[in-house]
A and B are shown apart, each in its own frame.
Chain A
């Protein structure tokens, strides 16, 4: 195996992405979660930029810049502002059983690696081996959404999922067509702002950001 150094860096960043996904899974504090999310975005943007540079796929630069602007700067900034306004910046989520969650996480990772294996063998991209990691991050973000009962962590899980998907697109195909990436980024942006408004509504009605209060609509 002779990978050039920048691709090794991409692999390392992929591993970092996965590591951050796990860290998010076990992070109890909202502030820490947002910081981790920003770091994940930074790792994603860096790796996208390196792939762009090493393969000459210039549209990936836009994608990297988009990620950097949106997921490293704008969204974390907005969330930090939001949690200050909502006064939940010191909130700690009481989570039991982190080890179990982590164990399920490991199982998901193995599942994702196996699922991605046949596809990555077909791929012609140099970054194909990271597809499994991308899929694993998506599933871990999904797991995080399931295990959290607070609104903001769930949304961060949703956005982390989007990160994983972007990474998947980069590793399998050197990114989606630019117009689609722009569209997806726009959706993410709108989603974040719509949810920002929504948080205030939740807060107003429930006096809390804890979704455990939402139990009215259980199927009888």
Chain B
């Protein structure tokens, strides 16, 4: 139990520390692929340090909500990161927080983000908030369907059980997970504001979604949000790993497997980040009005995965 709690805390801290690095790695890969000179791998850390040292500027009519929102968002993401098994499968808190709670945490963070954006009453803020809610409204059911498909196999919505079933018992191929994986990739691009749904580097009013909501933030508030964004990407990446590529995660109670698990995680994240960068390079951002179609497809794929499960795997 104590090792479990230690592992739980350790994993959460690891996520906190590694998340900006993953972001940096994606940026580096993207720069390489686009033939640009890459920024340093640790650039996100420099950015965070710089932002923490600056003085915060607040809008005149910003309420307390606006000031607290970054902390709430950050807290949500930290909690979310703690739910996903990254290194060891030994998470004592998991009965309290399964994948559905995870979706709930993401939703909570999103609601505060949108409220804060509406709070100051600028045009961009409300525009971004509305777009964000549209995307979220479509992405959430799809995400839930993906989780249901994955949980059908292990008969549990708790991530450690899912990982255990996939990685630590007899190896089997699950066609339904193939569908779920594609759907999951589509949802994650939308949820993390990546291409082709959103572009994290643009500040073009016609297209930006996420960036429009955080325009008014500065200094430590912005730092918290940026960190939360990195954490969200990290959580989604580890979630994808846990659901679809869980091999390497240490089984419960096996501390000797931890170094290997760390290595496996680093490798998987590196490959995953590079793949994300590649996909962002070859794809173009789609028009906002195509997003419902994109996410609808993700939802249908997840449903298909579930149907396939009943046909082929029962």
Contact = CB atoms under 8 A, between A and B. Distances in A.
Contact of B173 (A5, A18, A129, A133): A5
A113 B310 contact: yes
Interface residues of A, number: 27
B300 A130 contact: no
Given A11-B313, A18-B308, A110-B307, 12 more contacts: A5-B173, A8-B172, A9-B173, A11-B312, A14-B175, A15-B308, A15-B312, A22-B300, A26-B297, A99-B296, A99-B297, A109-B307
Nearest to B171: A5
Contact of B300 (A5, A8, A15, A103): A103
A132 B297 contact: no
A19 B307 CA distance: 12
A16 B301 CA distance: 12
Contacts of B179: 15, 19
A113 B310 CA distance: 9
Interface string A1-27: 101010011011011101100100010
Contact of A102 (B172, B182, B296, B314): B296
Given A15-B312, A22-B304, A8 B292 contact: no
Contacts of B292: 99
Given A99-B293, A102-B296, A19 B178 contact: yes
B176 interface: yes
- Closest 4 A/B residue pairs (Cβ): A15-B175, A8-B173, A99-B296, A12-B175
Contacts of A110: 307
Contacts of A164: none
A109 B182 CA distance: 18
Given A1-B313, A15-B312, A99-B292, A22 B176 contact: no
Nearest to B292: A99
A106 interface: yes
A6 to B, nearest CB: 10
Contacts of A113: 307, 310-311
A105 interface: yes
Contacts of A130: 312
B80 interface: no
28 contacts: A1-B313, A1-B314, A3-B172, A5-B173, A11-B313, A15-B175, A15-B308, A16-B175, A18-B308, A19-B178, A19-B182, A19-B301, A19-B304, A26-B297, A99-B297, A102-B296, A102-B297, A106-B307, A109-B304, A109-B307, A113-B310, A113-B311, A129-B311, A130-B312, A132-B311, A133-B308, A133-B311, A133-B312
B303 interface: yes
A12 B308 CA distance: 10
Nearest to A116: B311
Interface residues of B, number: 23
A14 B307 CA distance: 13
A208 B175 CA distance: 41
Given A9-B173, A16-B178, A19-B182, A106 B311 contact: no
Contact of A106 (B182, B304, B314): B304
A15 B307 CA distance: 10
A181 B292 CA distance: 43
Nearest to A97: B293
Contacts of A103: 300
Contacts of B303: 106
A190 interface: no
A129 B175 CA distance: 12
Nearest to B178: A15
A11 B173 contact: yes
Contacts of B173: 5, 8-9, 11-12
Nearest to B303: A106
Contacts of A3: 172
A98 interface: yes
A111 to B, nearest CB: 11
A19 B296 CA distance: 15
A11 B297 CA distance: 22
Contacts of A5: 171, 173
B300 A106 contact: yes
B175 A98 contact: no
